[in-house]
Amino acid sequence: PGTGKTTMALEFLYRGAKEFKEPGLMITFEMSPQKIMRDASGFLWDFKDLIDKGLLKIIYTSPSVLIEELQASDGVLAKEIREMGAKRLVIDGITPLRMFGERINGRPFRESLLLLIETIQRTGATTVLTTEAAGTNPIGETGSNHEQYVCDTIITLRNQARRRSVHRSIEVAKSRGHDFITGRHSLKIEAGTGIKVYPRVYARPKVSIEQETSSEISSTGVLALDHMLGGGVYKGSITLVVGISGTGKTVTGVQFLSEAAKDGKKGLLVTLDEHPKQIMRNSSKLGLDIASYIENGQIDVIFDSPLELDLDEHFDRIKRLVDEKGIEYVVIDSLAAYENAQSDEAREFICALSTFFKNKLITAFFNYESPELVGVSQISEELKASAIVDNIILLNYVEISTKLRRVITVPKSRGNNPDHESREYSIREGGICLIDDNSETYEPVPQLPLKSYYGILAKAPTRTSPLIEEKIIQGSQLPASASLTSQHKKMPTKANKAKVKGKKSSKVKPKSKAKSPLKSKKK
């Protein structure tokens, strides 16, 4: 109960009468016509108007009467269907037939059901029967239900607990003569609308061999980062930006969308962590005026809470917005929210999203917050979808001389020749700025340059000496450390100690010692 069986049946009748002018008849055993009309009004369905126009009729009866009608050669049921020319028929709740059929006429439920189906088929009306699942298994998952043999199509509705909320789903278990999308799809019952179904995200058409690709290069909005990527990112590519909190993932996405908006391209920001107003405020502090692009419609924003996120519905929102607005650039901030919402379905969702973007030649940035990034190899362990992306940008912190310094690395860039060197960057006016770089976003190096250290990604930076490395390559003897040499000069040697003693003896005469009588005898 409560899965939406009656609501779906009512909408089946309403849409047929309202939109296709197909008369409909409803037979109910448990709900009076007044209750049905009251429930329909909650969805703004005017059943009274359809009844007055002769497009809808509701019959409130009992299972015994219906069974007697089925036994008659020309019963009232068949007569009503013929007189109003019903094209659609609903029998809401055939469970009473199962419960009382044998007791009323001594006929097994299977025979009563077959008789009902034969009578309906003679009328030519398209019929929907609703019933509750017998036992714990829905129809289509067990062989104990007779309906699955006599009906052409079986639709199963479910309520599934998800944390503290309830998730509704719909599944087509059987449909004779039709190819249908298998699996469970999200279903919502919305006031003023009715039933809304969102097909499961990984039930999309497969990628064809003729998938469109492009050789056009798009800028990330950071010239130095474009150089590290080998010139930029290809149009239609997916870039994964990985980093712990505070490394600038959102700033990178904002710069990417702002650069596209400057060129007149339309973008989409999907934010699941921060409110759009907060992103606009923080961006303005860095001189990135993304707010103006959002206000003039150049950049659209989708903001969903990850706690109540339904991936099927979320995908549908993105898809419709992309198709309606002609969006070419997308930033998802961040993928970790999908894992928190539905960890068991997150990978399929990300794969479906990537496939959709690639088919549309949409250039996308996927931000991913890694709680602890030790090295490049850990990305594939934490995020199983890393293989589907074309580019990977690592943002990280490293502690050097008690100071946290930001590090950026490009370990992967398909189709390009990336610069694999780890570079230091800062976040200041204008956004991401690489340090010790000859680009326009140049900033002086604080302390020693990052190239003076190795082991950056392992979070164990160690100083390196170009002079020592050169001597090792040449096979020459290593020079003495300057610090050790200076310390060596300062340390007192035996000769130095003697000199010191000599100086002291010239100033102070030592006291004469008495000769030992034993020593004198030996001599």
374 pLDDT exceeds 70?
no
pLDDT tens sequence across 2-16: 899 999 999 999 999
What is the percentage of the chain residues whose pLDDT exceeds 70? 75
- Write the CB contacts of 454 (distance below 8 Å, at least 6 apart in sequence): 461, 462, 464
Tell me, yes or no, whether 482 lies in a domain: no
The total of structural domains in the chain comes to 2
For residues 34 and 141, membership in a common domain is answered with yes
Tell me, yes or no, whether 345 lies in a domain: yes
**Residue 472 banded pLDDT, cuts 50, 70, 90:** low
- CATH number at 188 reads 3.40.50.300
For residues 66 and 95, membership in a common domain is answered with yes
367 pLDDT exceeds 50?
yes
For residues 307 and 405, membership in a common domain is answered with yes
Tell me, yes or no, whether 451 lies in a domain: no
3-state secondary structure of 342: coil
Lowest average pLDDT, out of 9-23, 130-144, 158-172, 312-326, goes to: 130-144
Using only C-alpha atoms, the chain has a radius of gyration, in whole angstroms, of 38
**Residue 514 banded pLDDT, cuts 50, 70, 90:** very low
For residues 300 and 409, membership in a common domain is answered with yes
Handedness of CA 350, 351, 352, 355 (dihedral sign): positive
Contact 182, 172 (CB under 8 A): yes
Domain that holds residue 291: 217-446
Mean pLDDT over 228-257 rounds to 95
Tell me, yes or no, whether 113 lies in a domain: yes
For residues 231 and 330, membership in a common domain is answered with yes
390 or 518, higher pLDDT:
390
Number of H helices, E strands in the chain: 20, 21
Tell me, yes or no, whether 145 lies in a domain: yes
For residues 193 and 333, membership in a common domain is answered with no
Residue given tokens 């370990």 in the structure block: 411
Maximum alpha-carbon separation in the chain: 153
434 or 491, higher pLDDT:
434
| Highest-confidence segment of 92-106, 385-399, 462-476, 483-497 | 385-399
Mean pLDDT over 136-146 rounds to 54
For residues 236 and 188, membership in a common domain is answered with no
Mean pLDDT over 449-478 rounds to 68
Mean pLDDT over 191-205 rounds to 85
Question: H or E segment at 433?
Answer: strand 431-434
Lowest average pLDDT, out of 241-250, 279-288, 480-489, goes to: 480-489
Nearest of 424, 390, 419 to residue 407 by alpha carbon: 424
What distance in Å separates the CA atoms of residue 198 and residue 175, rounded to the nearest whole number? Answer: 19
Q: What is the mean pLDDT of the chain?
A: 82
For residues 300 and 401, membership in a common domain is answered with yes
For residues 143 and 223, membership in a common domain is answered with no
180's tokens: 């249908």
For residues 236 and 148, membership in a common domain is answered with no
Reported for 222-226, long-range contacts at CB under 8 A and 24+ positions apart, including other chains, are 222/252, 222/255, 222/431, 222/432, 222/434, 222/441, 223/439, 223/440, 223/441, 224/423, 224/433, 224/434, 224/437, 224/439, 224/441, 225/252, 225/393, 225/408, 225/410, 225/432, 225/434
For residues 173 and 70, membership in a common domain is answered with yes
341 or 92, higher pLDDT:
92
Give the pLDDT of residue 105: 63
Q: What does pTM read for this prediction?
A: 0.79
Tell me, yes or no, whether 429 lies in a domain: yes
Task: Point out the domain boundary residue: 413, 431, 446.
Answer: 446
Task: Point out the domain boundary residue: 147, 169, 198.
Answer: 198
Tell me, yes or no, whether 458 lies in a domain: no
Tell me, yes or no, whether 474 lies in a domain: no
Task: Point out the domain boundary residue: 198, 231, 266.
Answer: 198
3-state secondary structure of 233: strand
What distance in Å separates the CA atoms of residue 161 and residue 139, rounded to the nearest whole number? Answer: 20
Residue 434's CB: how many other CB atoms inside 10 A?
A: 22
**Residue 203 banded pLDDT, cuts 50, 70, 90:** low
CA dihedral 402, 406, 411, 414 (to 10 degrees): 180
For residues 21 and 80, membership in a common domain is answered with yes
